[in-house]
Structure 1
Amino acid sequence: MTRNISEADTRANFIDPNLAQSDWTSENITREYYFTDGRKLIGNRRGKRLFLDYLLKYNNTSLALIEAKKLGEHPTKGLQQALDYAEKLRINFVYSSNGKQIYEFDRRKGKGEYIEKFPSPKELYRRLNSSNFQLKEKLHSIPFHLTGPMRPRYYQEIAVNKVMESIAEDKKRILLTLATGTGKTFISFQIVHKLIQAKWNLEGQSRRPRILFLADRNVLADQAINTFNPYESDLVKIDGEEVRNRNGVVPTNAFIFFAIYQAIAEREDIGGYYTEYPSDFFDLIVIDECHRGSANEEGSWRAILEHFKPAVHLGLTATPKREDNVDTYKYFGKPVYEYSLKDGISDGFLTPYKLKRVRTNIDEYIHTSDSKVVQGEVTKDRYELKEFDKTITIIQRTDLLAKAILNNIGKMDKTIVFCANQDHALDLRDRINQHKSVTDPYYCVRVTSDEGKIGRIHLESFQDNDKDIPVILTSSKMLTTGVDARNVRNIVLTTSIGSMVEFKQIIGRGTRIYEGKDFFTIIDFVGASDLFYDSEWDGIPDEEVITDETGEEDGDDNEIKKKRKKPKVKEPTEDYEPKEKLIIELSNGRKLKVIDIETRYIDDNGKPLTAREFLEKLVGKLPAIYQNEDQLRKIWSNPDTRKFLMKDLGELGFDREQLNVLREMIASPECDLFDVLSHISFSSELMTRKERAANVRKNQQFFTVYENLKAKEFLEYVISHYEKFGVEELGRERLGDLVKLKLGSTKDAKMIFGDMNKLVTAYYSLQENIYRVS
């Protein structure tokens, strides 16, 4: 009898009453709590979302989850999955119940036991917060400041609560590590909001705390100020202009202070503004992008933090502990919470990426007398790739890269090009605008510190998703961190990068979610993406493609298919610029080009994937409409059955637009959609339409059936039309138009082929030949 009771009935008739008996009310319980959005898939679709049967909350904190099984099943049947979810949500108490029995697992102890009834909310809360209870209870009790239907993501709640608990436990140095694009400024605002509302401060007095938000760039500080807009009347920015307006006196009449390191630090000719504040003035200092200032003793914010030593120091960073930011982790200690890029992509809060590796035939330069020295002096025989556009510029190579960039991106896809320095950003901007097809003068602009106000205006227009122009930004260091531009489709790397930390920051410009943005593309000209192979944090790119300047792929040259060694990384430094850069113009006999294409499919753990596995990861499960390659070929070769197949694929979410996107991702526009489906489903070799057309032309036996020369010419015309425009030109409904274009009228066609049935038969037979096994 019990086996017929569903899980829903078990919840309603057994588990819910058990919870009610332990004082759990509707405001404490969230049923079917979805906590991820589902990985982004092709065609603006989503993968499976993760959810809990029950989430139990009290005092704005998640205390426990319940895995429900239907009456008659073993009560711990789903315990392992529940424990996995609890780990992700940082929840310590996990319950599994079939309505009759309740199993409690305490993750802190690593073991569980059967219990008679659920503990009450207050009992469970106190068990989790035994130390510093009163302050934790007070800080937790302040709800998030939210507007409209907005709801914080689960990891944002965790991050805020972990900081609250650390502050309550009197920790002085706290670190949050969250991938770029996950909302660190939003988290900072909620932390500040809770502390202000709770009137927390170091002295324990009844006053609002004074909080300093430190950034290293004005654009980051200004973005943060916008986020803190609800406290507009309580905040001030410390800079030279503000101090001058106050007759040389630093502002003190606020609760939230914003500053960039450079504006308040000591300089050669002036003392730092920070020294004019008492060392115990601030209760909390938030250091945004704290890895950039460097925590070593010479670091730009270290002296400021030393001065304000009594305050709680909260560091925010997007990069995990690696060789080039060990000082940061040494200063702050282990992060109280980490949320990686891999987590963000898997959960659907960040955009997946693919990788295009572009290699030229001039990845080093050996000077010869037939090359012209336009400027500077040749000081050695050989220049390496890492020196390009820093100490040496090769005019033709800059031109080649500009063409390759344009041909590897969509014409109106927002793109950031990272260059060696500001001059290189100018050179690439000019070359891109020289070869562009869009006439707007602001199609490609430089955004660097030298551009000043004009650059900031261009950046704001680029960030505005309602504006198409500018499309391409060339930059060097200015856009590596914190700039929120959600619709970036391409990140282009044209200069070597010595720091994994800097690399991760650069790539973070493309991870933000935007409607209709299924993935973004890293286009790497210098092998910098080797720094991205960091499976613990990022995962590995779903796809890696080597492409040429036209955007085409060609994998014939096995020489470039070599295993990559993880490069050594070093502390980021400012680019060294000689007084006079060497500029070379190659002789007319030297032709530059981009060499072959390599496609690699890798999962998040570095495991090689088949093409089908890769596409299933990006697209979801592929349809089982056809069982093998022969069946697919037979269906596709006939216009009538092909039409029904396309209809079935469309109903399953694989319409023509999605199939074309897949074709661009794994092949090229010159490949037939049949080859895309066959390659995805059965790992078959890809063929272009040109190759298929050539195979038909070689088959003279097929043409000898038709004695009339005009009949042969018509079939050749159909082949050429297919070769140029694709399978869409082979539909049954297109036959009449093709006849009119080539033969004039249906009457003429009957005379040439004998009758219309023979014409249709020839048309269908031609397609069987196009798609026959090569």
Structure 2
Amino acid sequence: MHLSESDTRAKHIDPKLKESGWEEFVIREHYFTDGRKLLGGKRGQRLFADYLLRYKNTNLAIIEAKKLGKHPTDGLQQAIRYADKLKVKFIFATNGEKIYQFDMRTGTGDYIDSFPTPEVLFQESVDNLTSLKKQLLGVPFYLVGDKQPRYYQEIAVNKAIEAIADDKKRVLLTLATGTGKTFIAFQIAHKLLTVKWNLDQADRRPKILFLADRNILADQAINTFNDPYEKDLVKIDGSEVRARNGIVPTNAFIFFAIYQAISEKENIDGYFRQYPKDFFDLIIIDECHRGSANEVGSWREILDYFGSAVHLGLTATPKRDDNVDTYNYFKKPVYEYSLKDGINDGYLSPYKVKKVRTNIDSYIYTDADKVLEGAVEDRRVYRKRDFNRVIIIPKQIELVAQAILDNINPMDKSIVFCVDQPHALNMRDAINKFKKVSDPNYCVRITSDEGKPGRDLLELFQNNDRDIPVILTSSQMLTTGVDARNVRNIIIVREIESMVEFKQIVGRGTRLFEGKDFFTIIDFSEEATDHFYDPDWDGLPEGETGEGGTRTGGNTGGGGGGNTGGGEEPPPRPPRPPKIVIELSNGRKLKVLDIETRYIDESGKPLTTLQFLEKLIGFIPDLYQSEDDLRKLWSKPETREELLIKLAESGIDEEQLDILKKIFEAENSDIFDVLLHISYECSLITRSQRAKHVKDDNDFFEVFSNLKARDFLRFILERYETDGIKELKRERLSSLIELNNLGTTKEASTVFGSAQNLIDAFYKLQENLYAV
């Protein structure tokens, strides 16, 4: 008797699971990824396990099921990959008759008679299973509505909880930007508060401090924690302390603060010293790489003071030379989830890069130019990295502003990362000078100098139901933690030396949003996006840190951390010499020389156009064998339509073809040229260029002695220029005759000599059109 896999599950596997007590603790066909984001709102293949064994809110094992008669371990290799992602320690492979148990820790397996019971498997799966750990793992996530945790969020929470239950004092979680670190922190706090975990094992809820380096990060965290802990939380800042007559708040369980608001200032002890050293049980440090963990770092004095508390660090950046202090302090992360994982699982957005080169990427002073401020150095070559840091050339800023507007859709939300706050101001003014949208808040600067009005505009930018503001200019304020899901363009107009900061900036575009298939990084710098080609671009921390490694000082984020006064910008540096301001001579014409589109995968690997599209579409169907073959198919209305139907049947429909045009800035091109570009990397030309080539071909038109025939063929070309290939369909011919006032089809046939001549001319026109 031959049973299908579903029959095998129902008649053989399910009864065995029930016998071992799993009936209430098994999830069948457990999908645990969303599938990579593809064009047109489509998704790649989702990963799923045939069975997930889950007990006490903890994933324990997966079962790989095969139909009766197949070898039980036939799908074991795939199951190992899934088990590694889910961080479960056991795999069971079965064909309903035999059960093979594989241990991920030892890499060995053997046949067993029956599935272990839930309690036995739970005890074998959790290391050092104490009563506290069992309690903590048993607390379900606090979820509102139909929201469900992603698999990696659940793993991160449980790994942190287990480390805390094992009395680890320093715990680190490394997860890519946009993957929900604040949600993870909330769930950890919720579990600890629910079981009344605390350091002195008293009958009380713990005191938890959430420490950030920017008000916007602290406020976003408060919004996450508000439900259900609105009455149990408080923010420690100057206004709160003043309202309490100089006394810090103590009547809460969850406290929020930015380092700068509670740390020591000139001759004033920090607010944190008003608390007893053992007041807090847990301190959560958000974006912990930014404050620096070295002895003089901005949050180190606070952590040293509350040394008895558990310190939980959250960061988006794997170990690098510029954040080694963080890893020296916290040691190896208990869990990592990379950008590559996020994109491949479908939780983060893919991207492409546009590198812009102009004819003023360097500057040497000449007598024809005018020095408005400062003192220019004779014969010095000022390079891109000097622009707006050492020397300001207003016309260069305006050129960049015009190029930005030329390379984005007018209403696509975009963030421009500038050298400093004055540069962000100049860039805002230049963009507003050339913009086509009249709204006064189309482009705004968001820096600490803007104060509350700036924060209000940032909230409007983050509001996905609002179109305005569209473009933000900033320097450091928006590099971390700003949750704006609909950002379509990350625009870099300064150098970025730090890989840590570069990751944070790229992360501003990775969040998903409906209708957002990818985002674009537009790079005007000298080498910022070269970070993609660093072997460690999407690397994970290697081994235990703390032995060896080079300390790099306090400011680890390329401008982050430190005592910033408002917690929004980097610490003040020693005063620099006044910037030079240059007015270029009227004879100097500035222009964009080249815009190179680079396709880079999430690991930093350069991709061909075809490889990039395969990432965005999922595959490219093999429907033509060569450039000539495609040209031949496209030149005839019937075979062109057949090809379009086959593309649609393969999943690349009209909507996706339109998106492809947008990806390559080819809205005015024929889809034929886009397909040529994708498949054979041919240069893109417009429909107007194609039509002009035919219009200029006198030999083609001289075949037709009747001038009305020539005019009609030129009319078809004009319709093609305007409306594209739909005007070239065979069934459109009669409508085109009517629109051109040639009379009836019979009358048009007379103009061409015969009906067959008319049809032949219509086809010959298209053959010439695609011969270019």
Counterpart of 1:436, as a letter, is K
Instruction: Pick closer, same or farther for the CA change 1:60–1:468 going to 2, 3 Å.
Output: same
* Contact 1:486–1:510 (CA under 8 A) maintained in structure 2: yes
* Contact 1:126–1:133 (CA under 8 A) maintained in structure 2: no
Point out the more displaced range, 208-217 or 689-698.
689-698
Q: 1:635 Cα shift?
A: 3.2
Aligned to 2:285: 287
Q: Counterparts of 2:240 and 2:556 in 1: how far apart (Å)?
A: 38
- Mapped pair 1:659 → 2:657: yes
Q: 1:446 Cα shift?
A: 1.0
Aligned to 2:529: 529
Q: Counterparts of 1:537 and 1:86 in 2: how far apart (Å)?
A: 25
* Contact 1:714–1:743 (CA under 8 A) maintained in structure 2: no
Aligned to 1:549: none
Aligned residue runs from structure 1 range 284-323, under 5 A: 284-323=282-321
* Contact 1:57–1:64 (CA under 8 A) maintained in structure 2: yes
Q: Specify which of 625, 630, 633 is matched with residue 632 of structure 1.
A: 630
Q: 1:121 Cα shift?
A: 0.9
Q: 1:663 Cα shift?
A: 2.5
Q: 1:17 Cα shift?
A: 1.3
Point out the more displaced range, 163-172 or 725-734.
725-734
* Contact 1:498–1:571 (CA under 8 A) maintained in structure 2: no
Aligned to 2:508, the other structure's residue is in SS state: helix
Q: Counterparts of 1:170 and 1:435 in 2: how far apart (Å)?
A: 59
Q: 1:647 Cα shift?
A: 4.2
Q: Counterparts of 2:608 and 2:125 in 1: how far apart (Å)?
A: 46
Q: Counterparts of 2:258 and 2:613 in 1: how far apart (Å)?
A: 44
1:682-706 superposed Cα distances (whole Å, 9 cap, x missing partner): 5555444344335434644432321
Aligned residue runs from structure 1 range 260-279, under 5 A: 260-279=258-277
Aligned to 2:467, the other structure's residue is in SS state: coil
Aligned to 1:715: 713
Aligned to 1:286, the other structure's residue is in SS state: strand
Q: Counterparts of 2:252 and 2:588 in 1: how far apart (Å)?
A: 64
Aligned residue runs from structure 1 range 616-631, under 5 A: 616-626=614-624, 628-631=626-629
Q: Counterparts of 2:611 and 2:220 in 1: how far apart (Å)?
A: 40
- Mapped pair 1:194 → 2:191: yes
Q: 1:729 Cα shift?
A: 3.3
Aligned residue runs from structure 1 range 669-688, under 5 A: 669-681=667-679, 683=681, 686-688=684-686
Q: Counterparts of 1:667 and 1:629 in 2: how far apart (Å)?
A: 21
Aligned to 2:644, the other structure's residue is in SS state: helix
Aligned to 2:487, the other structure's residue is in SS state: coil
Q: Counterparts of 1:483 and 1:65 in 2: how far apart (Å)?
A: 36
Counterpart of 1:612, as a letter, is L
Q: Counterparts of 2:722 and 2:514 in 1: how far apart (Å)?
A: 32
Instruction: Pick closer, same or farther for the CA change 1:271–1:337 going to 2, 3 Å.
Output: same
Q: Counterparts of 1:513 and 1:694 in 2: how far apart (Å)?
A: 41
* Contact 1:33–1:54 (CA under 8 A) maintained in structure 2: yes
Instruction: Pick closer, same or farther for the CA change 1:124–1:310 going to 2, 3 Å.
Output: same
Aligned residue runs from structure 1 range 597-608, under 5 A: 597-605=595-603, 607-608=605-606
- Mapped pair 1:182 → 2:168: no
Q: Counterparts of 2:535 and 2:21 in 1: how far apart (Å)?
A: 44
Aligned to 2:427: 428
1:499-535 superposed Cα distances (whole Å, 9 cap, x missing partner): 1111111111111111111001101100311123345
Aligned to 1:113, the other structure's residue is in SS state: strand
Aligned to 1:224, the other structure's residue is in SS state: helix
Q: Counterparts of 1:393 and 1:133 in 2: how far apart (Å)?
A: 63
Q: Counterparts of 1:161 and 1:253 in 2: how far apart (Å)?
A: 28
Aligned to 2:244: 246
Aligned to 2:438: 439
1:216-272 superposed Cα distances (whole Å, 9 cap, x missing partner): 011110100000011010011111111111111111111000000000000004210
Higher-RCO chain (CA-CA 8 Å, sequence separation at least 6): 2
- Mapped pair 1:72 → 2:58: no
Aligned to 2:328: 330
Aligned to 2:751: 752
Q: Specify which of 233, 236, 241 is matched with residue 234 of structure 2.
A: 236
Q: Counterparts of 1:25 and 1:537 in 2: how far apart (Å)?
A: 44
* Contact 1:503–1:532 (CA under 8 A) maintained in structure 2: no
Point out the more displaced range, 569-578 or 714-723.
569-578
Aligned to 1:139: 136
Aligned to 1:728: 726
Instruction: Pick closer, same or farther for the CA change 1:711–1:489 going to 2, 3 Å.
Output: same
* Contact 1:364–1:385 (CA under 8 A) maintained in structure 2: yes
Counterpart of 2:165, as a letter, is A
Q: 1:713 Cα shift?
A: 3.5
Counterpart of 1:289, as a letter, is E
* Contact 1:364–1:382 (CA under 8 A) maintained in structure 2: yes
Point out the more displaced range, 607-616 or 323-332.
607-616
Q: Counterparts of 2:749 and 2:69 in 1: how far apart (Å)?
A: 74
Q: 1:613 Cα shift?
A: 2.9
Q: Counterparts of 2:713 and 2:17 in 1: how far apart (Å)?
A: 75
- Mapped pair 1:6 → 2:4: yes
Counterpart of 1:396, as a letter, is K
Aligned residue runs from structure 1 range 460-609, under 5 A: 460-526=459-525, 527-534=527-534, 538=538, 572-573=558-559, 574=570, 578=576, 580-605=578-603, 607-609=605-607
* Contact 1:287–1:315 (CA under 8 A) maintained in structure 2: yes
- Mapped pair 1:365 → 2:363: yes
Q: Counterparts of 2:735 and 2:93 in 1: how far apart (Å)?
A: 66
Instruction: Pick closer, same or farther for the CA change 1:477–1:682 going to 2, 3 Å.
Output: closer
CA RMSD of aligned residues (A): 2.2
* Contact 1:422–1:476 (CA under 8 A) maintained in structure 2: yes
Counterpart of 1:99, as a letter, is G
1:369-411 superposed Cα distances (whole Å, 9 cap, x missing partner): 1111122221352212111111211111111111111111111
Counterpart of 2:388, as a letter, is D
1:429-466 superposed Cα distances (whole Å, 9 cap, x missing partner): 11111111111111111111111111111111111111
* Contact 2:176–2:316 (CA under 8 A) maintained in structure 1: yes
TM-score, structure 1 length as denominator? 0.92
Q: Specify which of 206, 211, 215 is matched with residue 214 of structure 1.
A: 211
* Contact 1:39–1:46 (CA under 8 A) maintained in structure 2: yes
Aligned to 1:510, the other structure's residue is in SS state: coil
Point out the more displaced range, 122-131 or 693-702.
693-702
Q: Specify which of 15, 22, 26 is matched with residue 13 of structure 2.
A: 15
What percentage of residue pairs aligned between the two structures are identical? Answer: 62
Q: Counterparts of 1:181 and 1:571 in 2: how far apart (Å)?
A: 18
* Contact 1:743–1:749 (CA under 8 A) maintained in structure 2: no
Aligned to 2:551: none
Q: Specify which of 46, 51, 64 is matched with residue 49 of structure 1.
A: 46
Instruction: Pick closer, same or farther for the CA change 1:605–1:479 going to 2, 3 Å.
Output: closer
Point out the more displaced range, 228-237 or 379-388.
379-388
Aligned to 1:618, the other structure's residue is in SS state: helix
Aligned to 1:306, the other structure's residue is in SS state: helix
Counterpart of 1:726, as a letter, is G
Aligned to 1:566: none
Instruction: Pick closer, same or farther for the CA change 1:426–1:737 going to 2, 3 Å.
Output: farther
Q: 1:425 Cα shift?
A: 1.1
1:562-583 superposed Cα distances (whole Å, 9 cap, x missing partner): xxxxxxx986245866363211
* Contact 1:342–1:537 (CA under 8 A) maintained in structure 2: no
Point out the more displaced range, 418-427 or 29-38.
418-427
Q: 1:628 Cα shift?
A: 4.8
Runs of at least 4 residues of structure 1 off by over 6 A? none
Aligned to 1:654, the other structure's residue is in SS state: coil
Q: Counterparts of 2:603 and 2:135 in 1: how far apart (Å)?
A: 42
Instruction: Pick closer, same or farther for the CA change 1:623–1:396 going to 2, 3 Å.
Output: same
Instruction: Pick closer, same or farther for the CA change 1:193–1:469 going to 2, 3 Å.
Output: same
Aligned to 1:154: 151
1:31-69 superposed Cα distances (whole Å, 9 cap, x missing partner): 100000000001110000000001111111111111111
Point out the more displaced range, 252-261 or 572-581.
572-581
Q: Specify which of 98, 108, 114 is matched with residue 117 of structure 1.
A: 114
Q: Counterparts of 2:512 and 2:535 in 1: how far apart (Å)?
A: 21
Instruction: Pick closer, same or farther for the CA change 1:385–1:628 going to 2, 3 Å.
Output: closer
Q: 1:472 Cα shift?
A: 0.7
Aligned to 1:546: none
Counterpart of 2:194, as a letter, is Q
Say how many residue pairs are matched. 742
Aligned to 1:706, the other structure's residue is in SS state: coil
Aligned residue runs from structure 1 range 441-460, under 5 A: 441-460=440-459
